[in-house]
Amino acid sequence: MSTTQNKDYYGTLGVKKTATADEIRKAFRKLARKYHPDVNPNDKKSEEKFKEISEANDILSDDKKRKVYDQVGFYSDQIDPATAEAYARQQANSRQAPPVDFGGFDFSGFGAGQGPAAGQGGQGSASWGSFRDIFSGIFTGNEQQRRQRGPEPGTDLEYQAPVEFWTAIRGGNARIEIHRQEVCPTCHGQASSGAPVQCPECSGTGQVTQMGGRMKFNIPCPRCGGTGRISNACPTCQGEGLVHRTESIEFRIKAGTRDGQRIRLQGKGNAGINGGAAGDLYVIVRTGTHPVFTRVGDDIHLHVPITIAEAALGSKVDVPTIDGRAQLRIPPGTQSGQKLRMRERGVENAGAPGQRGDEIVTVEVVVPQLNDERSKEIMREFAKLNNQDPRVTLFDKL
Q: Provide CB contacts within 8 A for 231, sequence distance 6+.
A: 191, 192, 193, 194, 195, 196, 197
C-alpha 363/C-alpha 236 separation (Å) is 65
pTM: 0.53
C-alpha 187/C-alpha 193 separation (Å) is 6
Task: Say what the pLDDT of residue 246 is.
Answer: 93
Residue 149 burial (CB < 10 Å; 0-12/13-18/19+)?
Answer: middle
On the question of pLDDT at 207 being above 60, the answer is yes
**DSSP state for residue 152 in the 8-state scheme:** B
On the question of pLDDT at 163 being above 90, the answer is yes
On the question of pLDDT at 382 being above 80, the answer is yes
Specify the 3-state DSSP secondary structure of 172: strand
Q: How confident is residue 7, by pLDDT bands cut at 50, 70 and 90?
A: confident
From the centroid of its chain, how far is CA 301? 34
Task: Say what the pLDDT of residue 39 is.
Answer: 86
Which of 265, 320, 254 minimizes the C-alpha distance to 287?
A: 254
On the question of pLDDT at 243 being above 50, the answer is yes
For the CA atoms of 86, 88, 92, 97, what is the dihedral angle to 10 degrees? 80
Task: Say what the pLDDT of residue 226 is.
Answer: 82
Least reliable range by pLDDT among 117-121, 131-135, 197-201, 338-342: 117-121
Task: Say what the pLDDT of residue 168 is.
Answer: 95
Task: Say what the pLDDT of residue 284 is.
Answer: 95
Q: Find the radius of gyration of the CA atoms of the chain.
A: 38
The string of pLDDT tens digits covering residues 10-51 is 999 999 988 999 999 999 999 988 898 888 888 888 889 999
Number of neighbouring beta carbons within 10 Å of residue 208: 19
Least reliable range by pLDDT among 41-50, 94-103, 173-182, 256-265: 94-103
**Section 343-361 average pLDDT:** 94
Between residues 229 and 116, the one the model is more confident about: 229
Task: Say what the pLDDT of residue 129 is.
Answer: 46
C-alpha 211/C-alpha 241 separation (Å) is 34
Least reliable range by pLDDT among 21-30, 103-112, 203-212, 359-368: 103-112
Q: How confident is residue 211, by pLDDT bands cut at 50, 70 and 90?
A: low
Task: Say what the pLDDT of residue 1 is.
Answer: 41
For the residues of 81-128, what is the DSSP string, one character each? HHHHHHHHHHHHH-SSPPPPP-TT--GGGGSTT-SGGGGTTS-HHHHH
On the question of pLDDT at 256 being above 50, the answer is yes
Average per-residue pLDDT for the chain: 82
Q: What share of the chain is helix, strand, coil (3-state, %, to 5)?
A: 30, 30, 40
The string of pLDDT tens digits covering residues 94-146 is 544 444 545 444 444 444 444 443 444 444 444 444 455 555 544 444 444 44
